[in-house]
Structure 1
Amino acid sequence: MPYEWSKTTTPKQLTLWPYRSLPRRGFVVFIGGTAALISLPLLTVLGSPVLWGLLPFFVAAVAGMYWALQRNYRDGEILETLTFEGPRLHLTRHGPHGKHQTWEANPHWVRVETQAKGGPVPEYITLAGGPRKVELGTFLSEEERIALAQELRQALRDHNARTDSP
């Protein structure tokens, strides 16, 4: 799952990140393999002036693929951290291009809401109870959002039970 609860007990923390189907090592292998396969037809025209006419197109194809995959990695650099700290619940979101957002609320009043349909994604998760509603884990799959919503509700119940007891 592309989210993880902290192993320590205090403060309890949830970290979420987008799933990467192509890790960095696979990226290098893919670009290298693509360059090798694209260069195979160039072997037939090696030593002729046709090579210089075809070469820019092959270089542009590999460079375009490299640029597109790098852009995808940059756009997917999202990290959401939800921290249960005493009487406060903190959510920080580090988005692509250095975008940083924070949200804070009293966990006693926070509700985990899901929208099966009608949201930007199926099983859309929002946290309500602070100055505004915030979304959580929109990059997760539908099944992961369903499981996360249940885990969040349980974590809020557990946290509130600990802080409410004398």
Structure 2
Amino acid sequence: MPYEWITPTGPDAPTAELHLWPYRSLLRRDFVVFISATALLIVVPLLAVIGSPVLWGLLPFFMIAVWGIWYALQRSYKDGEILEELCIWPDRMTLIHTDPRKGVQTWEANPYWVHVKIDRKNERIVNYLTLKGADREVELGRFLSEDERAALYDDLTKALRNLS
């Protein structure tokens, strides 16, 4: 699961802490292998036209293709640096959403008044998970899959129940 519960230690540490992040299917070391294999597969057809003027006509398109794949994967890695931290104390609850493009967004409420809601029949997003408190409703784990949001809902309601 792309989230984990952490048991913090220390005098001012929260009772429970949850970290959420997007799933990564392609690791950095696999990125190098993938780009190398793609470049190699693109170069193989060019071997047939080495020494002819056709090579210079095809080469820019092959280079643009490799660059496009590299750029798309780098952008995907940048988008995947999203991190959500949910900290629960007996008297307050904070959510810090860190996005490399949008910056840091925070939300704070009293856990006694926080309602964890899941909309299982939402038309666009199945198992849409939100936290409502302090006159504001925030989305939690928008990058998680349907099953992961349902499991997170169960975990989060248990954690809040154990707090009270």
TM-score (norm 1): 0.91
Structure 1 residues 119 and 125 mapped into 2: Cα distance closer, same or farther (>3 Å)? farther
Residue of structure 1 aligned with 2:76, choices 72, 76, 98: 72
1:116 aligns with 2:135: no
Tell me the C-alpha RMSD between the 2 structures.
1.4
1:135 aligns with 2:135: no
TM-score (norm 2): 0.92
Aligned 1:63-102 pairs, distance under 5 A: 63-102=67-106
Cα distance in 2, alignment partners of residues 146 and 126 from structure 1 = 11
Cα distance in 2, alignment partners of residues 145 and 66 from structure 1 = 31
Q: Secondary structure at the match of 1:47?
A: coil
1:106 aligns with 2:90: no
Structure (1/2) with the larger helix percentage: 1
Unaligned 5+ residue runs, structure 2?
none
Give the total of aligned pairs: 160
For residues 76-96 of structure 1, give each alpha carbon's deviation from its aligned partner in whole angstroms, at most 9, with x where no partner exists: 221000001231100000013
Counterpart position of 2:43:
39
Counterpart position of 1:164:
none
Percent identity between matched residues is 57
Counterpart position of 2:162:
158
Counterpart position of 1:30:
34
List, as ranges, runs of 4+ consecutive aligned residues in structure 1 with deviation greater than 6 Å: none
For residues 4-60 of structure 1, give each alpha carbon's deviation from its aligned partner in whole angstroms, at most 9, with x where no partner exists: 000336421000000011111111111110000000011111122221111101101
**Offset, 1:118:** 2.0
Q: Secondary structure at the match of 1:97?
A: coil
* Range with greater deviation from structure 2 (142-151 or 47-56): 47-56
Structure 1 residues 141 and 71 mapped into 2: Cα distance closer, same or farther (>3 Å)? same
Cα distance in 2, alignment partners of residues 68 and 149 from structure 1 = 32
Counterpart position of 2:152:
148
Cα distance in 1, alignment partners of residues 7 and 38 from structure 2 = 41
State the AA in 2 paired with 1:5: W
Residue of structure 1 aligned with 2:60, choices 51, 56, 61: 56
